[in-house]
């Protein structure tokens, strides 16, 4: 309290009452169905694109780039398109992700379409207590698999710095790295990761490595707070990477590089 009586301080202008921002106003005024509609459109588009690229799009590879849909490269020349071996894992991961569950329950099943607006469906509601939705509880296994796939994607991204033994850095490399960052932020912001790292601990002071686990939990919590954002960003970045490499592969654009 080392402030003396003579310290002068200028009384404020009365700032008046704060008005809401334009964004808040928009959000408040936007009709409730806008959000579900957007989600339905974007998610459907992704699934359609994913199917198309997996089944009919052909291998997407243009040295040194490999599309995330085709990584890891297994059974490169097998009878089925390699994408099919890999695609299910991330799809399963996203399908059981707590955030996407919210998004599609609201948007596809209308359970509920928005808060406090009434519900369309009148069938007895079972939530996630019955087949198939209770399988969402297996989310953590999907997470383990997704982490493995993510490791391959990082390997691909690192490998893309190398073209025939020479350092290579092109726009495609940057896109692949960014994609991996987004995917990592999404994957490690997962609620299951959060639980396993520290959420399951009751008293950090009494478990081994408690302080570290608490720090880890806090870090993941920070990622998790923006899980929805990472979910969408990584969804777009996967498609963007695939599209970009496809364009390079087909020669429509030439990859700018050093």
Are 189 and 226 contacting, i.e. CB atoms less than 8 angstroms apart? yes
Backbone angles phi, psi at 145, to 5 degrees: -65, -40
Give least dist CB 150 to ligand FES, A: 11
- Chain centroid, CA 119 distance in Å: 28
Give CA separation, 230 vs 27, 54, 205, 236, in Å: 21, 23, 32, 10
How many chain residues interact with another protein (CB under 8 A)? 56
Dihedral angle computed from the Cα positions of residues 127, 144, 80 and 231, in that order, rounded to the nearest 10 degrees: 60
Q: How far apart are CA 165 and CA 118, in angstroms?
A: 62
- In the list 31, 118, 132, 251, the residue contacting another protein (rule: CB under 8 A) is 118
Query: 136 to 175, contacts with ligand FES by CB under 6 A?
Result: 139, 143
Residues 244, 45, 137: CA angle, nearest 5 degrees: 105
Shortest Cβ distance from residue 119 to another protein (Å)?
4
Q: Quick one: which of 46, 49, 85, 105 contacts another protein (CB under 8 A)?
A: 105
21 binds, among another protein, ligand FES, none (CB under 5 to 8 A by kind): none
The closest of 63, 53, 59, 52 to 76, measured between CA atoms, is 59
Residues 6+ apart with CB under 8 A from 166: none
Tell which one of 191, 210, 240, 243 touches ligand FES (CB under 6 A). Answer: 191
* CB closer to another protein out of 142 and 239: 142
Contacts (CB under 8 A) with another protein, residues 216-255? 224-225
| x-or-dash string of contact with another protein, 10-39, rule CB under 8 A | xxx-xx-xx-x-------xx----------
* Among positions 2, 22, 56, 206, the unique one binding another protein when judged by CB under 8 A: 206
For the bound state, the minimum distance from the C-beta of residue 149 to another protein, rounded and expressed in Å, comes to: 20
Stretch that binds another protein, among 4-12, 56-64, 178-186, 232-240 (CB under 8 A): 4-12
Instruction: Name the residues that contact another protein, by CB under 8 A.
Output: 1, 3-5, 7-12, 14-15, 17-18, 20, 28-29, 98, 101-102, 105-106, 111-112, 115-119, 124-129, 133-134, 137-140, 191-192, 194-195, 199-200, 202-206, 211, 214, 224-225
């Amino acid at each position: 309290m080392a402030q003396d009586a003579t310290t002068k301080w200028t009384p404020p202008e009365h700032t008046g009452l704060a008005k809401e921002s334009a964004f808040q106003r928009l959000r408040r005024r936007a009709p409730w169905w806008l959000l579900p509609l957007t989600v339905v459109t974007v998610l459907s588009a992704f699934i359609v694109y994913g199917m198309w690229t997996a089944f009919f799009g052909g291998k997407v590879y243009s040295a040194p780039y490999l599309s995330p849909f085709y990584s890891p490269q297994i059974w490169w020349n097998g009878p089925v398109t390699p994408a099919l071996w890999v695609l299910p894992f991330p799809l399963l991961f996203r399908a059981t992700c707590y955030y996407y569950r919210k998004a599609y329950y609201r948007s596809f099943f209308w359970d509920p379409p928005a808060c406090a607006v009434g519900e369309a469906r009148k069938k007895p509601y079972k939530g996630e207590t019955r087949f198939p939705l209770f399988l969402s509880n297996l989310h953590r296994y999907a997470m383990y698999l997704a982490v493995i796939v993510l490791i391959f994607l990082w390997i691909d991204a690192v490998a893309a710095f190398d073209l025939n033994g020479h350092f290579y850095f092109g726009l495609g490399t940057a896109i692949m790295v960014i994609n991996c960052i987004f995917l990592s932020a999404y994957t490690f912001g997962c609620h299951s990761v959060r639980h396993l790292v520290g959420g399951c601990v009751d008293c950090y002071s009494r478990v081994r490595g408690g302080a570290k686990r608490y720090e880890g939990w806090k870090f993941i919590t920070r990622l998790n707070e923006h899980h929805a954002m990472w979910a969408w960003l990584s969804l777009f970045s996967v498609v963007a990477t695939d599209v970009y490499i496809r364009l390079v592969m087909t020669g429509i654009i030439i990859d700018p590089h050093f």
